Structures are given as structure tokens and as C-alpha cells.
Chain A
Amino acid sequence: MSASVQEKDRHVFPRWRSFKATSRLGELALPAVELEVDTSELDVSLAKGVAGWKGDPSLWRGLDLLGTAVVAGRLQDFAALVAEIRDNPLAPIFARNVLGRTLAAELDKAPLSDCDGISNVGARQEIRASRVRLASAPRDAIEWTELARAYTIAGLNDKASKAIAAALHLSPSNRFVLRSAARFFLHCGEKERALALLGKAPTIKHDPWILASEIAIADSLGKASRHSRLAREKVGMDIAPSELTELASALGSLEAESGNHRNARRFLRQALVGANENSIAQIGWLNRSRLGEWVDASKANPPLLHEANAWNSFYKGEFEAARQESLCWFRDQPFASAPAALGSYILADIFWDYKGAKELAQAGLRSNPDDLTLLNNLAVCLMELDELTEAEAALSRVKAEGRGAKIDSTYKATFGMLAFRKGDHVEGRRLYLEAIEGAKNSGSKQNAARAAFHLVFEEIVAQSGYVEDSIRRLREFEGIEGFKEWPRFFERVNALMRAGVESGLG
């Protein structure tokens, strides 16, 4: 077969973005314990500053006043003075730059873009920058977490592990550090460790974000969270909906898992209010995989909604949008395997952009060197690019033993493709046919259809006498629900046929 696409079981695991992006998304706003705040002293200080400046509106008094305005959280009331100082050549250049930036920030209300994500190359630069910062500020837990993220993106999990340990040592109860650490442990396959970390977090009883992640991880392990009762109480509390969206979504997933779809929908509808992209992606997945009656999330449009959009577009057959969204999703979550897997499949099988797909698969493999889907997709691209030795090396890393039937059929088909490309058409055909049967037997008609199409491609490329047979086999899959690749695959059949005729070989 060709490149593979599998939507895996999904849970509301914490996202791991840069500190800046996480903060801008508002996921670090709610404190575990809320205090009453009296700002009257700052109001007094500001009133004195204003009176002083009115009595003597000089440059340095103005700077002094703006300092108080910043501390009092009232800088926006002094935009004219900020502009005046920014444009005053006598003002210290640092103040002009720093205060001028606040004006720019006021003007720049652009939504958070996916540009925040860093590539593998960017990760190396981030590592260097983080290490320089940490050399002078080794107690900065946030920077240790940033360093860990950059290491993870670069595929240096051992170093990331040490950085995460340092961050946890410095700030064992900070939400950003805890959720990032949990996501890192999940990335390393250490679910139990992630669960233990969050379950023992000092703030779990107060913090719905920690609670949501803990419940999702327990669910992924097939365990009942010790905190699920508390979580149900929490979602009923008077807390901003945006702070509860992941928790409601995690509880909705639990209910859906246990077949209680009505309760699930109730929680998921709650999660929709103030939803973030993680909740929407979860709702989308539950709609497709668990719930009989859909929860309509089509009106929600939180920032960075790439995962949900990518899958929605893919299942609708809107492949250009799916391609773009999957690439954005990968930029947003560069250490995750799923966006690289979906993106490389779309690039390879739908757009026949094997070079692009190969690069994306390789980028995903840096953080996930043992990911079978990515290795499979890479091998397919390498074969299409006539790099057979490299493809064989990639496939040698695929250990299909002990995997589920769906996965087996995918890899079997890819081994079939390798056999074809090496000239062993009989073996190739046998493997493809086994893969088709295996996929059908495991209930995945779509995978069977994909394998059947790829067998056609290989028969045409090999100019075997079995092209018509293989095309006839496709009839079996006509009209399969949700198999939107059909027209593009047929286009490829036609293109390969045309190419064969034009080269005089057909």
C-alpha cells in the first residue's frame, strides 16, 4: 500500500506550546486560589503621579508617571504620553523602545498565528538561545520547560527529560510546567508517570486544567480517575467557561467511552462554551468515533483550530484545506506524530508530492523515531522517489509483529510495494492481496480500498498483465462511505496509464 492514515484514539491530553503562545491563549490566567485584590494604594500613587506631572510636565516626570501607570495596569489611559515619549529624542532610547512597543502591542491585535510553532531547525536555535538564558538564570522553570520542548522537537528526549526534571524541581506546582511535563511523559510513552505527576500535584483540587489532563490520562490507561467526582463538581461551579472547557470535554469523553451518550453530549455542549481547539478536536473525534448523534461544533472557531479543521476537511474530501491545516497543525505541535502522519499521507497519496511528504515524515520522525505510520509513509515516499535502499532501511525499522490487524495490512501492502519495485511482482501482488483481505476482515473497507488502488498503481508501473484484474477488483469498493480519495486515486490511475502510453511502454 501507499502512505498510511489512521486516526488514533484521542484524549484531551494537554497541549504543549511555547509559554508565550500558551499564555496568549489564556490557559494560564486562572489562579488555583483566587484572592481579593485591593488596588486603592496604586490608585493613590497614580493620582499623585498625575498631579505631579500636571504641575511640571517634564520628560522625566512623564517617565516616572508612566512607570506608575504600568504598575497600576492603567497604561492604556496614557497612550498620548507614551507616544510623546516615544517620539521625544531626549528620552532614553530604552524607554522609547520599550514603551513604544506597548503602543505597537495595543495596535497589533492580530490573532495568534501558527507561526509560534518551531521547526526542527528552529528547535536547534531555540535550544541554543534557551541554554544561553539558563546559563545566566538557572532558576527559571519556564525557560527549562521551553528548553525541554525544543529538545523534544529535535528528538533529544534524554536531554528533554533532564530539562523537565529541572523545571519540575523549581516549580512543582505550576500549571504550565506540570501540563508540559505530563505531555512530555505522554510523548515518551510514560502514561503512568504522567498520571502520577498530575494526580499528586498540589493544585489538582483547585485547578481544572490539571484535573482535566489527569482525567484524560487516566481514561487513556483505562483507569478511573480518583478525582472524577471532584471534576464533576468543578464543572458545575461558577468558573469562567473557558477555564472548564477541557475538563467538560474530558468528562464528556468518559461518558462517551462508557456508552452514556446523553451525558456525554451534555458535557460536550458545556465544553463548547469558551472552547479551545483541543476541546473542539476532541468533540470532532467523538462525533466521528463514538457518538451516534453529533454535537455541532461547527460554529466554534478558537485560535489554532488546525487539528479539527484538518480532519474535518479530510473527511469531507476538501484536500487542499486538509493539506494546509495539517501543516499548520504540525507547526503548532511539531513533536506530535499525528499531524505529520496525516500531512504526509495527504501530500503523498492525494497530491503526489513525494518530496514534500518525505520531508514532513522525516520531520515527524525526528521527535518520533519509532512511529510506524511515519516510517511507513517515509518508505513509500522514498520508493516513489526511486530511493529503494533508503526505503528498505526505513521499512526494516517497521516492526509489524504484535500490532493490530489494520496496522498489519498497511505495512504488508507497503512491503508489497517494495517487492514490486524490486521486480518481484508475484510476491508484491501476494502481499497486496493479503493486505486487502486483512483490511476487509478487520472491518476497514477504506484501508482495503486504498490497498486495492495501490495494487493497481503498482501493476501499471510494473506493466504487468494484471492491470485489468486489479482495476476490476476496485468495483468491490465503489460507493464506500467516507472514502473521499476515490476521485484522486482514479486520476492517478489515468495519469499512470497516460504516462505508460506516452512512453510507448503501455
Chain B
Amino acid sequence: MSTPAEQLQGLRLENGWVVGGPIPRTGAQTGGHFSCSYGVTNVDGTCAFLKAMDYTAALSAPDPATALNELTSAFLFEREVLEECADRRMSRIVRAIDGGRASAGGSTVEYLIFEEAKGGDIRKYLDCAPQFDLVWTLTCLHNICVGVRQLNGASIAHQDLKPSNVLHFPGEGQKLADLGRAWHKSRFSPHDALLFAGDWGYAPPELLYRYASPDESDRRFGADFYLVGSMVLFLFSGLRASEMLILALSPEHQPSAYRGTYEEVLPYLHHAFCVNLEEIGGWFPDAGLGKEVVDVVSQMCDPNLSTRGDRSHTAKFGSRFSLERFISRFDRLRMAAMLGRIRHP
């Protein structure tokens, strides 16, 4: 039997939104992810994306009270963070353009409506692209850096940056979606107690080896910084940073097998990382571009959290996980690519 959140199709909501067909779930319903998605259209023809909280589904969780509490907290947290993003005019964060409550199945369903990314996520764009486009790639990386910088500047760590959360808006570029797993330095979220709230398949090595830095800001912003680096690798190679690192490790040192501490395994991680950097450098026929990418990845994806960060950062100013210099760098590289000064492949 379907839950109220699954019965919104065809409803006319406040502010003139009409709920269209459901968007099939592409992931398993787990943890705090109790939501249903729909396409919606406004009377003025605006298409958008609706995310409805599925409280009834939460009731069937093993611990319904906790699940319900978490879901409510998560919804409120996400809504507040989205409001803050909107207030701060974060141009590279997908905007929540509306929200409210609807009656369905004898119950009230809370929802948020987001601007619609007609291009889908970047994987869809890449699947349709006839060939590798260096200018597009560098533009995308620039936009990702700007998005994360905008969040980090508001003391928010995205925590779940991955290809499916980078949406492509034709004509506008890319924006970051899904702040449901974010961390806010001065707001409580139900995920605060978790070592890592994002997708563990993308988690940085220190977290894969269960190391919790005593400095929570370092842990959260360090993870975001790593995830940006991971996107750099993914867009150029189809491989993510942790994947490359693990493939360069011997089986006994891989996180799924290793039973020791992060400190103990770190020399092996560092060695594998260095071997990878050497290999990545060899990927690029354009040595200049290769050098740039290796340098970016070496700073962003360093498996050692304590040495990860902008190498030119000085203790006096800002955070070592600041993306300012990388934004300028990708901008400069994009211009160079547009002028044909760098090429790939």
C-alpha cells in the first residue's frame, strides 16, 4: 500500500504547482532518506522538482520514533540551510523555490520544491556528450569549486559532493544539490553525531579508516575539499579519488580489509597516493595541463588530513581548505582551453 507521500501525483498545490509523475528512486531507501520525488509544473509553465517527506515510511523503520524525529529534524535542517543559501544568494547551489504542506492519503505531507535541472546530473550530460570537452570540464570544476566555496563561506560543509549531486543547468552551468547531509557549524542537524553523513562510497580515506579528527571543522571541510578533488579526477578519468587510492593499495591495506588504525596505514596510503600522482601526470598528452591537474589533486586528495589543503595557505589568513585559489586556477585554465593553449586528450 502506498504512503501519503507517494500519492501526490495529480494534486494541485499551493502557489499553483501541479504535481506530475513520480521520479523513480534511483537509490535504496535507507537511513534518513525517506522521501519521494516528483516533477511539478506551475501555472506559468515553470517546471520544477518536488521532494516530499515520507513520514509514513519512517513509521515502518525499526525504531519509528527515532526515524520520525530524525526525518523531521533533517527536513527542518535542510529547509533552514536552503533558506540561508537563498538569503546569501548562493548562485551555485540549487535553489529551493517553494515549499509547503499538502494533504494526501488522509495525512499531511511536507514538501520542498527545487529549481529543475533540465540537463540532469553531470553523469547524464557526460553520457550524452559525443567526446571529452575540456572547456566544459574546467567550467564544471570551476562551478563546483564556487558552489563549495559559497557553502563553506557560510560555515556549511556539503558532505555529500558526488556526480549525482552536481546538476547541469543548460545555459547556466552546474549547481550543487542535496544539502540533506550537510553540516552547519552553528546549526544542529540530526547527522552531527555521524562520523560522515555523506555517501561512504566517496568518503575520504581518513574516514574510511575510521579516523575522527578532534577538530570537527577540519574533518568536515577537509572532507569537502577532498570531494572536490575527487570530482576533478572523476571528470578527467571516470575514477574517483578513493577508488584510485584503493586500487593502488595492496589488498590487505584496503579499507574493507584493514583492521588497523589510520595512523598505521597512512604511510601506505601516502605511498599509493604518490604512485597515483605519477600515473595521473602521465595521462595527459599536454604536459602543462597534466602538471596542473596533478598539483590540484596532490593538494586536494592528500590522504593525510593534516597535510591536505591549499599549499600556499598561510596560517594567518583563512582556512587551508579554502577554494579561492582553485577557483581562479580553473578559471584561468578554462580561458587557456578556450584559447586553445591547452588541449585534452
Residues of A that sit less than 8 Å from B by CB = 19-20, 23-24, 26, 28-29, 31-37, 39, 41-42, 44-49, 51-52, 55-56, 58-61, 63-64, 66-68, 70-74, 85, 91-95, 98-99, 101-102, 133, 136-137, 139-143, 170-171, 173-174, 176-177
Contact = CB atoms under 8 A, between A and B. Distances in A.
Interface in B214-253: 234, 236-240, 242-244, 246-247, 250, 252-253
Interface stretch (B25-33, B100-108, B319-327): B25-33
Contact of A174 (B162, B247, B264): B264
A19 B271 contact: yes
| A contacts with B: majority SS | helix
Contacts of B119: none
B201 A143 contact: no
B239 A94 contact: yes
Nearest to B260: A31
A68 B25 CA distance: 18
B252 A142 contact: no
A63 B239 contact: yes
Contacts of A39: 256
Contact of B255 (A51, A60, A73, A98): A73
A139 B25 contact: no
Interface of B: 24-28, 30-31, 122-124, 126-127, 132, 162-164, 196, 199-203, 208, 210, 234, 236-240, 242-244, 246-247, 250, 252-261, 264-268, 270-271, 273-275, 277-278, 283, 294, 298, 304, 307, 345
A63 B238 contact: yes
B261 to A, nearest CB: 6
Nearest to B130: A90
A34 B240 CA distance: 28
Contacts of B257: 73
Contact of B27 (A32, A52, A70): A52
A143 B208 CA distance: 23
B252 A98 contact: no
Given A71-B246, A94-B237, A133-B274, A60 B126 contact: yes
Contacts of A102: 247
B200 A48 contact: no
Given A33-B261, A48-B27, A142 B239 contact: no
A91 B238 contact: yes
A71 B234 CA distance: 14
Nearest to B281: A136
A28 B277 contact: no
A58 B124 CA distance: 8
B267 A60 contact: no
Contact of B264 (A32, A47, A52, A55): A32
Contact of A45 (B200, B258, B277, B294): B200
B127 A60 contact: yes
Contacts of B123: 58, 60-61, 64
Given A46-B201, A60-B123, A63-B239, A142 B277 contact: no
Given A60-B126, A72-B201, A73-B255, A177 B267 contact: yes
Nearest to B266: A171
B108 to A, nearest CB: 28
Given A31-B264, A170-B267, 15 more contacts: A45-B201, A48-B26, A51-B25, A51-B28, A61-B123, A63-B234, A64-B123, A66-B243, A67-B201, A92-B237, A137-B298, A139-B270, A139-B307, A141-B271, A143-B274
> When A and B form their complex, which 10 residue pairs have the shortest distance between CB atoms, in order from nearest?
A31-B260, A73-B256, A68-B201, A95-B238, A48-B27, A142-B271, A94-B237, A45-B201, A29-B252, A60-B123
A52 B164 contact: yes
A148 to B, nearest CB: 14
Nearest to B265: A31
Contact of A140 (B234, B239, B274): B274
A44 B237 contact: no
Contacts of A136: 274, 277-278, 294, 298
Nearest to B27: A48
